[in-house]
Structures are given as C-alpha cells and as structure tokens.
Structure 1
C-alpha cells in the first residue's frame, strides 16, 4: 500500500517514542526520505506558533528530506534561521527534553513557593530575584496550582517511558511529576487550613476549568483533581469557565453538587464561602473586589495563579491565599 508514495518524503509530525520515525520508515520499505518534525504548536495559539515559530526542530538523515521539508514550510514562514537541523532521533529526544526542562522549572518554582509559605516569605520577591539572574530568566518561573494539558503531560510521561525502556531510571522526572500532582491539591489544602477541616456543607466558587487560557480542553487539568478533593469533603462547587464547561461535563458528568456558568463569573460567587482562581482567563484579572466581598460569605480568595496583589485584595476586606503568598484584612 505504500508503493504509490515512492520517492516521497515521510514526515512524522507526531510525538512518538524516540526511534519511531525510523520504525515507520522501515515499514514503508526505506524507499522514502524520512523526517521527524516534532509538533511545536501551542494550544490556543496554534496558527501563530505555526507561522511565527521560535524554532522548527527538523530531524532528517539525508539532504533531500531536509530540502523538501524546508520547501514545504517556506510558504508559511520565510525565516530560514528558525530551522534547527539534526538527526531524526535527536529531534525526537529534543522535543521531549524541552518539555521536561520546562516542567522541571515549574515544579522547582512550586517547591520554592511551598518553602516560602512555611517561612512567611512572599515568593514574588524570590521569583523576581531569581528571574533577574540572566542565567535563569523569567520564563516558566511562575508558581501555580499545577500544570496540565494533553501535550505537556503526554511528553513528560513519554520521556519517562523512554528513560525506562532504555534501562535508565529518572528520579528527577518522577519527582517533577509527583510535585505537580501534589500541587493540584494545594488550593484544597489552603481551604482546609482556613476552615480548620470543617468543609462539609460549604460552597466554593471556582473560576476556570481549562488547563490554560484560550482553550476549551481540560486534559490533566488541575481542576479535575481539585473537584475530587472538594466533593469528597461534601463541598458544593459553583464553577465558571467561558469555554470548557462541555468538556468538564464530559469528564465528570451531571452532579447535584456542581453548578456551572459560562457568562457572568459573579453568578458563581453568589452564596459561596470562598473563590478559587484556577485558570487565569483575562476576564478574571480585574474583578470588582468590593462586589466579591459582598458576595462571598467568608471573604476568602484562593489565587492558584498568583495574578492578584495580596495587599490590595486584603485592603478590600478579603482574605488572600496564593501560591507562596498571603494577606489578611486588618479589619472586616
């Protein structure tokens, strides 16, 4: 069935284990050039990341494959300097290694945020000091309530599988993934601490379900772990998300202890004891704090993305708990 493609170029744009492009090439009889072109599209900004890529990882083992792939992509991007050419297996491993490094930065920063919480230090000061060091920089240096998404999580697990199948064990990767799973419960633990474990019968508003702004997907999203923990303690959830509600119902089904909203985020806060910010949609960045103070019975804000100013939130009469940050009003 592959004979009709004789002389063509096999381009593998999927993230498979290292060596998969070679395996596909052998199945097709070796009469084609083979190219590994790892997927670098970003969820929510796919067209921009395709037409203005930071890089194209071009894994090819012969000149014809490289030339034809460059020619194919030239119509969409004329910047030849974004092509980084290397052998197929190197390109496949590079894609996995990049996401492994980014995940490691996030998990490390989340560990520092946990330490800052214990020591009573505002992690934002630490983050700014670290990022100002040119050897580190600010990218992927924001603590939060965990990362998700189909590609990021998949690449981490695939990298761990590659390590295992090659006879190596990566304690680092295991720790990165473990830290992330623990961090998905951090807002629940802060809620538990605030109410001293008395959560039965409470109502919590959640802003954001998607694994990141700009997408309707909830694959491996922190909200899934958070919902399980809340429901296990008898908490009713009122959740707002502008795009991900259908995906959420597909994942958890219809429940009496879940109410959802897609239009007005303040509707989710009416009668709630606390508000959790899980996904940093732009609609959530500048809320009416005095309105929130009047809607939330216990006036508690749990900021899972550290997008709010703790002191300002407290000045509006609310308790603030972030990731490595906190503030309380002097008077209520």
Structure 2
C-alpha cells in the first residue's frame, strides 16, 4: 500500500520504518526541512534501538522517502497517517494546531478518496471536529470528494518502540466504516496473526482509551512511589514489597518500580489533559489529580535526600549525575526527573557533572552553556572530585559499577540512587553511604 505519514517524531518515524520494512511504500512529510535533509543522509533526530538500521535499509531500497511537500504527501498515499505532536500547557490544554494544519492540507490538496488515520493523542471529540473541518474545506473548493477518518491510537514505549510496533499487544481502531476497517486490516496484516488482535470500537471510545491507558500506567507508578515513601518511614525495604505484590498475577510486575518520578512526552501531558477534560465536564478527578501531585512531589525526592544529607549546604558542591533521559534506551529528556533535580541543585549553588549514553546533546540544546553544568564523556569522568553520585536513569551501563572506583573518585562516599539499582547492604559494606527510594533503614530519618 501507499502510505503518507505526517509528523516525523518518535511515533511517525518508527511507524514509517516498520511499515516500509514489511513492503508498504511510505512517504514521510515534516515541516522541518533540516530534519528531512538529515534523514536523507541517515541522520536520525531521535535514538531508538534498531531504528537507524531500518531507516537506512528501506531508504536505500526505495520504500521509504522523506519530503517537506505536503501536496506531494497528500497525492502519494491512500492512507494518510497523522502522527504530529499534541503538547499540553500547564493547565492541560491540548495544542491541536499541528493536527489541524495537517487536516487542512489533506482537504486542500486531495484529488481522490483518502483514509485519514489519526494516531496523534487528542481529546475526546477531536476526530469528529477534524472530519467537519475537512468537509467544510472540500465544500469551499466546490468539488465532490470522498474521504473517511478513523482514530488509531499508538501504544509504543520509547526504548522498545520498534519491537512494540512489529509485535503489538493489540491494535485499536475507532471507526464504524467497513471499508476503512478492510483497508486497515490490509495495512496491519503483517503484524497480526489473527483479527482478534484488532479491537474495533467507536471513535470517541478509542480516543478515551488512549488517555486511559497512559493514565493507568502513570497511576501504578505514583502508587508504588506513595507506598515507597511510607515504607521508608516504617523502616521497610520497598523492593521486598514490590516483589511481593508483583508476583500476584492480578497486579503484575510492570510499572511498579519505585523511583524519582516519571517523565517523557506522554504520561505528564496526558494526565493533565484528562484532568482538564474531567473538570470541563463538571467532574473533579480526585485520583488523577493525586497521581499528578505525587509525581511532582517524587521529582523532589532526590533533592530532598541530598539536602537532608548535606544540611542544605550545597553551594559549591559538585555532584556526578548518571542518567539524563527520562528512561533508558532513549534520548528523550522531556519532563525528565534529572532536569528537576539539576534545576533545584543549581538554585542552591551546586555544580553538575553529568553523563548519559544518548541524551547529552538534548540537554545541551535546552540549557546551553552553563558554568555549573559539565557534560562528561564517560560515567567515570563524571565522578572526578564530585561530592556525591546521583542516579536518575536506569541505563544498563550503570547496573554493575566499580564501587572501588566510585569510592576513590568521590570526595564524599555517598550515592543517591533514584532508581533503586543497587543493594544497600552491598553498597554500605564497601564503605559507601546509600540513599535509595523507600529502602527502609538505609535512609530512614525521624519524621
């Protein structure tokens, strides 16, 4: 099939590569000309495992192309996939400017039947409004053209997005149109063994399903973080509790890792958006509000432990920070806990020596040159003359460190483990002070 994808971010680029890999002819459209030219040279705007090889292969074989020309994109594909960003502001208002721009372009340039498949996360009712916009534009053009529109949410996880796209848990389609369903079955047939993988529902239900899925996962994270704070006060190790509840098949072990808060482009904004939508309907979403509040508080957990240890005397202190991305195997630093940590420490007069395997360029773009930020080439260099080590991201590279090297390089032998990577007993036996998240007596104080 011929497919056009509007928006070449995490979702669009992964979707494009995987669809091209199974034989579809994909044209990617983006307004950022530099991004398009870089992609033609094999330079990706994001890091995602296994993605670069797929892009290079399918571009060379002619199944994957890139352009800034919207008209060309509209004319290319029977399927018009929308994967542009829908950021939200501090009040949870979703910015639909990019989505509406694509819709306008499709309606303006289309010359024959199109299926518009929206994968961008949008408030309930948005797809219906997109349809109305297209009808109005086509009417003003004075032409008779047919199109159908459906909502097809994505459930990719950054860091495993390629695998998730090739082996989806499920594919949700919001439509009541049999022709659209037939075409979508054809589009996704290489990824599903049987049609039970495809869940059909109305458009509004599909829109709410996307928000609900992300908010449910965020709720699990905030819940375990809430319990970790209680465990700390009770002198209980949350890791024992986590294993105990995770072995229950009704709960499962996913998304119950305590830590220094969640970030990324999805969970924080989708929580805000659903809170806003609830309030607009006259309902106060108490649980969703608590999930957001707990996460905001949890991002302050590491700075609080650091201040507890050093007695607020942070001016001139140097801290090694391992991990800047919001999760491992990505270069995405949007809403990353590391950023909250660094900004708080900077305000207290501290200096950061940071290392991350993939996201240091992104941090450099955000913060520019600062005397109190040093981006180091290796995790070992980040340790030199530091007053303490802080773990913000659970990269594999940080899992089994040389404790003697850490102790030798740090001016004060203290580790603040925001992802509970290490066993407190092992760390303490090596003569290091250890603070984790909800690790019981290891960082218990009088409350």
Q: Same fold (TM over 0.5)?
A: yes
Check if 1:42 corresponds to 2:157.
yes
Distance 1:126 1:76, change over 3 A: closer
Identify the residue that residue 373 of structure 2 maps to in structure 1: 258
Query: d(CA) in 2 for partners of 1:73 and 1:315?
Result: 54
Query: d(CA) in 1 for partners of 2:127 and 2:147?
Result: 12
Query: d(CA) in 2 for partners of 1:319 and 1:289?
Result: 12
Under a length normalisation based on structure 1, what TM-score does the superposition of the two structures give?
A: 0.94
Query: d(CA) in 1 for partners of 2:416 and 2:225?
Result: 16
Query: d(CA) in 1 for partners of 2:343 and 2:369?
Result: 14
Check if 1:114 corresponds to 2:229.
yes
Query: d(CA) in 2 for partners of 1:4 and 1:320?
Result: 61
Query: d(CA) in 1 for partners of 2:194 and 2:427?
Result: 45
Query: d(CA) in 1 for partners of 2:121 and 2:266?
Result: 9
Query: d(CA) in 1 for partners of 2:111 and 2:160?
Result: 32
Identify the residue that residue 149 of structure 1 maps to in structure 2: 264
* Cα shift at 1:125: 1.3
Query: d(CA) in 1 for partners of 2:416 and 2:213?
Result: 31
* Cα shift at 1:323: 0.3
Identify the residue that residue 325 of structure 1 maps to in structure 2: 439
Check if 1:242 corresponds to 2:242.
no
Check if 1:15 corresponds to 2:129.
no
Q: What secondary structure sits across from 1:162 in the alignment?
A: helix
| Counterpart selection for 2:318 from 203, 225, 247 | 203
Identify the residue that residue 131 of structure 2 maps to in structure 1: 25
Distance 1:316 1:8, change over 3 A: same
Identify the residue that residue 302 of structure 1 maps to in structure 2: 416
Aligned-residue Cα RMSD (Å) equals 1.8
Query: d(CA) in 1 for partners of 2:346 and 2:167?
Result: 43
Structure 1, unmatched stretches of 5+, are none
Under a length normalisation based on structure 2, what TM-score does the superposition of the two structures give?
A: 0.70
Greater mean deviation of Cα atoms: 292-301 or 79-88? 79-88
Identify the residue that residue 316 of structure 1 maps to in structure 2: 430
Query: Any conservation in 2 of the 1:311–1:327 contact (CA below 8 Å)?
Result: no
Query: Any conservation in 1 of the 2:232–2:441 contact (CA below 8 Å)?
Result: no
| Counterpart selection for 1:135 from 229, 250, 253 | 250
Q: Over residues 214-247 of structure 1, what are the superposed CA-to-partner deviations in whole Å (9 max), with x where a residue is unaligned?
A: 1111001011110111011111110011111111
Query: d(CA) in 2 for partners of 1:202 and 1:327?
Result: 26
Q: What secondary structure sits across from 2:374 in the alignment?
A: strand
Query: Any conservation in 2 of the 1:211–1:219 contact (CA below 8 Å)?
Result: yes
Query: Any conservation in 2 of the 1:192–1:198 contact (CA below 8 Å)?
Result: yes
Q: What secondary structure sits across from 1:238 in the alignment?
A: strand
Query: d(CA) in 2 for partners of 1:48 and 1:134?
Result: 24
Query: d(CA) in 1 for partners of 2:300 and 2:341?
Result: 6
Query: d(CA) in 2 for partners of 1:3 and 1:218?
Result: 36
Check if 1:283 corresponds to 2:397.
yes
* Cα shift at 1:317: 1.1
Query: d(CA) in 2 for partners of 1:199 and 1:220?
Result: 24
